[in-house]
Structure 1
């Protein structure tokens, strides 16, 4: 086998869309050498999924690329809310919601916020930043086959420009190869869920006059409900570039060839309510909304991430965000195992943590499509839940009742009824503003490449953390919070970090590299070194 291997890498990523690129970025931030192969020649040209929720923006912030993403998204920075209308020229119009974060309540929970950045604008940023982190990303390169054994995966890839085949040996393979994942199919991993929900054709078009029709209205999307021509209108630049999602009914014998430029243009004019509108069709792409979750997220040394692991209705942009968060969860675990800090058992927690989140989130996405009467979606029974209800909780309030955590409540709902970010094991650690050497930072800014132990100054926890990091040879940073010379970090505006994190001044909180609480000590313990050593050993599957 050695003679046939052309190159070796710790991780091979298959798929170079949002999730594959994010996997590359996050692995690069951990210093993990990897290769990404993508069969297409470049990043997406079509302005597809655009909503990046607050949790995803936290991850991009921790990876150091939030400013670049905001810049790429600047053209849509003033677009907010979802409008539903029979037409854009009549009186029958209703805002489903006008602001994502009315009143700025989100600032209590996060140092950042939502961002509207189309996939064709976000992917080049991820690509550039992943390469800056040392990622080897190859487009026009297709996975032809793979086999795995007890020590790794052997893959054959093809350069589609030259036709050359080469063999890659990797310790692990991450399949981010889309909803019809060839990797998942080869592994014979089944799926569960409600299956296909509806079908649309995404139509890009140019219209200079549409901006005048809209006037001052700046929405994320407008659902147009004219029964003669319904659809969803999305701005690309608010000036002359637009996208329209038209219902497609293949079950009625309708084919893509039926969507001629003339039909599409007339459909758009009727839906908008402007018969003489200038409409120039520039592109068409079919897409399918479905609710499916893979029955397994891994087999051996192969892991599924993004659409290969779960499909969701696009309403609410849950699918791409869930996929990026899959990548973040998996990246630190792969890094820990590859560098010898963790046992292979840590990787089993990827499925136990992320699969329940996908199931709960996919159900919420389908409910949201029903709430918004998404064009083409006619569920037999409209799911419950109020409009805009629970969006923030689904986006960032989910938890891991089981996985690489200690002390989590196994009966806790994966997505609770209300936001509960109080330092409980298995939840995303709370956000709190701190001051370090005169600089303001969030507690979330501490979490990325290492475990972090938080405690009050004057307690033995910081020294215990430093000792355990040395004993186990793991990345573990310990910070003492408080006032005075012994403190590393000071709370801003007299904040009480212990109360916010659900502990006491004598307790401590252990946070994983992905920002989730691994363990919490409510108070002092007789031997903090022994206690923390045992916790780290269990969480990292080194027992």
Structure 2
């Protein structure tokens, strides 16, 4: 084989689904040139992966894509909750939960909110946003092989339409190539966890009359529990188009060919309780629920992200969200190493931080599937148990006790029992509303392209320290004084106490990473702010 062309890019992304496309968006926002290859000819066309949690929407907000995503998701904007019932026509109806954010308490801790946007609607938004930032996205292009050495990665990709081969020279490779990841297999990484949990066939169908049966029950999903025809019903447009997840048992010899249109129609009719429902089957796609986490996330210059690194039960929509957040964590670290502000050892903290999050989250996802009695899932005796609490804590309150943080409590639980967004190192920085040049902005809107040092009205010495750090390390570090004084940069909304919310004083400081996590905190005045900040940054950036 003789490659016919050659490309040179800092980062090669393999896989153009949600995680790969998000990596492209995040790298593009940071000005990192990259190439993405995806073997399929286009984005997903089958409705799936619709739950985007509040942390993911925070990331898309800062990346400038939130508005377009919500527009793409507008048809399901009023759908909330999970319903469980033997059928849609009986009286025995139970809401496992009716509101994602009962009481509206989420607004106190985040400027964003959950968003129900199916993968087939979300991916085109990400493609457009990534390309607008200069991302080179090539569909119908498959990774054939790769090798790496101390200087970079050499990959060969194939255009599946023309058969042409291209050699790609990259500094780093991100493998977002799915649960059967050829890159992970090539690296020889094993996986931990229970493995396969259950299998479903996702059936898309048209049934306009079903909207009248559903009525005003605007659910995210309805688990239908007829033992002879169970499954999960999901709306696509709340009118004519729907999705039904039917249990599939390949371990019992059942094949995909067994799911004929006639069988699927009969199953949907019995499950919904509408035996004369007019149903038109429009598509079928198998999917597999599993709990696995890769034993390693990186080897040299190659990194796993998303399903290649971890598989999770779909209940709670944790899997894709965890993968998108993988990409965000990795993007700023790659940017820092590529621009020379950080040493390459910073990239080792990607696995240190993200692998424990995946292990904890995947276990919570399986437990939630047991709690909800997800169709097709027969957990081992004793698995699951009572109602799961703290779903928001899993989605938003996870921590990095170790990694690119200074002063974090190493015994801090990766997923604590209660939300602790109080400015502790290793946690997502607190949200509070500010007035910035007459505009209302969240503190979270400040965190993307630089480290940010926040201090109070009496913290002018920290501004001087930040200037010294910029000169020494050659990195972008934005310093803001928060308060109501004439020299302050950011004005909190009336009644808000910046120092109290961040666990410090007006003479202290909080250093926040580009991904919005607290890297370090000084709770009060220190003897030598410049020396202190220099020491912290040397540790964080692996420059010592």
TM-score, with normalisation over the residues of structure 1? 0.99
Could you tell me which residue of structure 2 aligns to residue 429 of structure 1? 429
Give the secondary structure class of the aligned counterpart of 1:493: coil
8 A Cα contact 2:458 2:506, kept in partner? no
Summarize the Cα distance change of 1:385–1:445 in structure 2 as closer, same or farther, 3 Å threshold: farther
Give the secondary structure class of the aligned counterpart of 2:393: helix
Give the secondary structure class of the aligned counterpart of 2:329: helix
Which segment drifts farther, 523-532 or 465-474? 465-474
RMSD: 1.2
Extract unaligned runs of 5+ from structure 2. none
What is the CA distance between 1:389 and its match in structure 2?
Answer: 1.2
Residue by residue over 1:152-180, the C-alpha shift from the partner in whole angstroms, topping out at 9 and shown as x without a partner, is 00000000110101100000000000000
Where in structure 2 are the equivalents of 1:338-487 lying within 5 Å? Answer: 338-384=338-384, 386-387=386-387, 389-459=389-459, 460-487=461-488
Could you tell me which residue of structure 1 aligns to residue 34 of structure 2? 34
Give the secondary structure class of the aligned counterpart of 2:422: coil
Q: Distance in 2 between matches of 1:16 and 1:209?
A: 36
Extract unaligned runs of 5+ from structure 1. none
Q: Distance in 1 between matches of 2:444 and 2:471?
A: 24
Give the secondary structure class of the aligned counterpart of 1:243: strand
Could you tell me which residue of structure 2 aligns to residue 111 of structure 1? 111
Q: Distance in 1 between matches of 2:386 and 2:414?
A: 19
8 A Cα contact 1:367 1:382, kept in partner? no
What is the CA distance between 1:384 and its match in structure 2?
Answer: 4.4
Where in structure 2 are the equivalents of 1:150-299 lying within 5 Å? Answer: 150-299=150-299
What is the CA distance between 1:466 and its match in structure 2?
Answer: 2.2
Q: Distance in 2 between matches of 1:231 and 1:4?
A: 50
Q: Distance in 2 between matches of 1:394 and 1:358?
A: 10
What is the CA distance between 1:462 and its match in structure 2?
Answer: 1.7
What is the CA distance between 1:471 and its match in structure 2?
Answer: 1.9
What is the CA distance between 1:372 and its match in structure 2?
Answer: 0.5
8 A Cα contact 1:458 1:486, kept in partner? no
Could you tell me which residue of structure 1 aligns to residue 86 of structure 2? 86
Where in structure 2 are the equivalents of 1:48-127 lying within 5 Å? Answer: 48-127=48-127
Could you tell me which residue of structure 2 aligns to residue 490 of structure 1? 491
What is the CA distance between 1:470 and its match in structure 2?
Answer: 2.0
Give the secondary structure class of the aligned counterpart of 1:6: strand
Q: Distance in 2 between matches of 1:70 and 1:256?
A: 34
**Number of positions where the alignment pairs a residue of Structure 1 with one of Structure 2:** 542
What is the CA distance between 1:438 and its match in structure 2?
Answer: 1.7
Give the secondary structure class of the aligned counterpart of 1:366: helix
Give the secondary structure class of the aligned counterpart of 2:162: coil
Q: Distance in 2 between matches of 1:417 and 1:16?
A: 35
What is the CA distance between 1:4 and its match in structure 2?
Answer: 8.0
8 A Cα contact 2:192 2:292, kept in partner? yes
Could you tell me which residue of structure 1 aligns to residue 310 of structure 2? 310
8 A Cα contact 2:370 2:384, kept in partner? no
Residue by residue over 1:267-324, the C-alpha shift from the partner in whole angstroms, topping out at 9 and shown as x without a partner, is 0000000000011000000000000000000001000000000000000000000000
Q: Distance in 1 between matches of 2:141 and 2:382?
A: 43
8 A Cα contact 1:97 1:388, kept in partner? no
Residue by residue over 1:351-405, the C-alpha shift from the partner in whole angstroms, topping out at 9 and shown as x without a partner, is 0000000000000000010011000001122434653511100001000000000
Q: Distance in 1 between matches of 2:117 and 2:382?
A: 30
Give the secondary structure class of the aligned counterpart of 1:494: coil
Could you tell me which residue of structure 2 aligns to residue 529 of structure 1? 530
Q: Distance in 2 between matches of 1:484 and 1:379?
A: 59
Q: Distance in 1 between matches of 2:385 and 2:66?
A: 32
Could you tell me which residue of structure 2 aligns to residue 332 of structure 1? 332
8 A Cα contact 2:367 2:388, kept in partner? no
